[in-house]
């Protein structure tokens, strides 16, 4: 399969596509905590460069699996270079920097704004319509996320931080940046380019940008030899899974689903993050978590409800 052998006609999403999307948001649910962990021993630039070095082989494997690994042509090169900078390198750079001061909880709260923003931009720039039921689904899912984040866990202590740090504002900006990236990526994929081919080269270019940044910033690469096993595990998860497998699964979903129907699945990310917290640190839940999860799933079903033929 070449990098452009996807049929330009719309492909109906299969059940496996939804499973892949769920896999991506589940992996991303643990990314904020993993980034926080790695930042205890490394600078943001080093975290980003090392995770990218883990991501490239993972994505190359995806290209090899569907026979789409090749060099981009001149037109593709510039597009993928720019998207790699804006949506991967710049996005992860500002998030890694922001997580030094932003609370992981605040970061999840602000992701609630992303689906509505993406749906609006998709309607404006891609002419992708959203029904009244779909709009209601976004609202219901957002309310479910707010319920999960506010009341879903047993709070042992009062929250140590409130919104207002520089990192919080940067995370908020990253939500807008992510929305723009999804719209541009959807436009690219509708043009017939292979998802695994596109995301591989975007991450490849972003890796080059990240390595250049570490050199210009005077990063101490000798720190790598002193990293703990836990930090290496966090970097591997961030690279091979969060920046590798999850991006590949997400891009495949983006190739068959309108952005408004895809992005609403990201409402499940905080729930996945809480489950991961339970498995790692034994965080306790309340019944509000179950109710919030039901609201989120209901909203997702409404957004993705198949419309009757005219």
Other Cβ atoms within 10 Å of 300 Cβ, number: 25
pLDDT recorded at residue 160: 46
Q: Which residues contact 140 (CB under 8 A, 6 or more apart)?
A: 295, 296, 298, 299, 302
pLDDT recorded at residue 204: 97
pLDDT recorded at residue 65: 93
pLDDT recorded at residue 153: 62
pLDDT recorded at residue 96: 73
> How does pLDDT run across 213-241, given as a tens digit for each residue?
999 988 999 999 999 999 999 999 999 99
CA end-to-end distance (rounded Å), the chain: 35
Contact in structure between 285 and 152 (CB atoms under 8 Å): yes
pLDDT recorded at residue 48: 92
pLDDT recorded at residue 162: 52
Instruction: Tell me which DSSP letter residue 85 carries.
Output: I
- 121-129, long-range: CB < 8 A, 24+ apart: 121/179, 121/180, 121/183, 121/259, 122/183, 122/186, 122/258, 122/259, 122/260, 123/260, 125/183, 125/187, 126/183, 126/186, 126/187, 126/190, 126/258, 126/259, 128/258, 128/259, 128/260
How far apart CA 298 and CA 304 sit, in angstroms, is 10
pLDDT recorded at residue 280: 59
Q: For the chain, which ranges sit under pLDDT 70?
A: 1-11, 99-113, 149, 152-165, 168, 276-285, 306-310
Contact in structure between 289 and 152 (CB atoms under 8 Å): yes
pLDDT recorded at residue 112: 65
Which backbone phi and psi does 220 adopt, to 5 degrees? -90, 95
pLDDT recorded at residue 58: 95
pLDDT recorded at residue 143: 84
> Model-level pTM greater than 0.85?
no
């Amino acid at each position: 399969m070449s990098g452009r052998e996807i049929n330009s006609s719309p492909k109906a999403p299969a059940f496996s596509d939804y499973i892949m999307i769920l896999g991506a948001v589940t992996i991303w649910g643990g990314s904020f905590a993993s980034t926080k962990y790695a930042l205890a021993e490394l600078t943001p630039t080093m975290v980003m460069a090392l995770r990218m070095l883990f991501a490239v082989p993972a994505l190359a494997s995806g290209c090899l699996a569907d026979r789409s690994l090749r060099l981009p042509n001149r037109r593709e090169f510039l597009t993928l270079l720019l998207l790699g900078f804006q949506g991967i390198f710049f996005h992860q750079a500002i998030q890694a920097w922001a997580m030094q001061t932003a609370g992981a909880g605040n970061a999840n709260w602000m992701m609630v704004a992303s689906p509505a923003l993406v749906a609006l931009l998709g309607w404006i720039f891609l002419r992708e319509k959203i029904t009244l039921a779909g709009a209601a689904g976004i609202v219901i899912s957002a309310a479910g996320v707010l319920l999960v984040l506010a009341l879903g866990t047993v709070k042992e202590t009062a929250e140590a931080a409130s919104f207002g740090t520089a990192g919080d504002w940067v995370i908020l900006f990253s939500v807008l940046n992510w929305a723009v990236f999804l719209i541009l990526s959807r436009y690219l994929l509708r043009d017939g380019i292979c998802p695994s081919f596109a995301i591989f080269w975007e991450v490849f270019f972003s890796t080059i940008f990240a390595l250049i940044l570490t050199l210009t910033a005077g990063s101490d690469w000798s720190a790598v030899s002193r990293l703990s096993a836990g930090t290496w595990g966090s970097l591997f998860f961030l690279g091979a899974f969060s920046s590798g497998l999850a991006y590949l699964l997400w891009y495949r979903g983006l190739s068959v689903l309108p952005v408004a129907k895809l992005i609403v699945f990201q409402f499940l990310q905080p729930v996945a993050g809480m489950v991961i917290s339970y498995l790692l640190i034994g965080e306790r839940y309340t019944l509000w978590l179950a109710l919030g999860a039901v609201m989120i799933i209901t909203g997702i079903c409404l957004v993705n409800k198949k419309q009757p033929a005219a």
